[in-house]
Structure 1
Amino acid sequence: MAGRAREVPGCAGRFVTPGEVLLFAAEGFAGNASVSFVGKWASLGGVLSGDLAVPAETADPDGTLTFSWPVPDTPSASVDAAPRVYAIQGSGTNPAGETHTAYMLEPLVAYPDTVPCAVPDSATTPLGTTIRVDVLANDAAPEGGQALSVVATESSVDVGG
């Protein structure tokens, strides 16, 4: 149901930024049906959770629904620095007059400016060959947030036979 969120392999859900506006689309509703929403959010750190305010929308005459939704701001890191997960479902009637519910296929995850998503790195090289590994290449930081940097590194050597 959600669109425009970035896929970040190794990070939970789809990666979005607070304030970013997402486009949602669903089909199967009756033409011009009123669609109401239930939205929930939770801190992945388990500190906070709650309901989302998502206003009702009206399906198009062909039964499709398209609407935009701004990702809410996250609290300051001093309150809760963990990423947020969001899930939204919309319910209305289908052309037969029965209840039709559209679900997000996977939750959206918003990372506060203080919490980037780091993904483990690995590299292989022939014995005696030096290589350089860009350990930040597969990591993600919120748009407009702090730039990623390496603070500490650990390395292990596995010599196969």
Structure 2
Amino acid sequence: MLALTTMLVALPANRLVAQQPSDVQAVKAASKTFYSTLSVLDDGSAMERVWARTSYVTYVGPQSKSVIVGWDAQKQYWGDFNKRFTQRTVSLVDDRVHINGNLAWEIGVETGQAHMKDGTIRKVDWIVTNVYEKLGGQWLMVSHHVQPRPQ
């Protein structure tokens, strides 16, 4: 017991940050806002509520040809991408959140439907990793990566 206590005392204080239930709930709230914002088919402005507007935010989607980096590129992407849909509903299931200091990540499965302007309906069934950073006391998305779920 003495050895364990000595090890804990010797660890730097920043290594002992506990995952606070209030932060977990705040990340889940940010996630819920992101998924409700996906149904807003605007010029990308709605995403300003959930994305950190920094030069290092990233997005990789199931149809991306490259990684989209930076808030300006993100906003442009979402505005252009939203033009393809008449309606989109996506939710997150089987999600798990982990927090370490001011960084949080969430994994899960995105599910839903996308109604395309060409009249087709596409099933949303993706594996997702979302990364959040606590900036100014608010959890904001800094990375969103989705890929098709293996069948």
Q: RCO (CA 8 Å, sep 6+): is it higher in 1 or 2?
A: 1
Structure with max Cα Rg: 1
Shared fold, TM over 0.5: no
Q: What is the TM-score with the length of structure 1 in the denominator?
A: 0.28
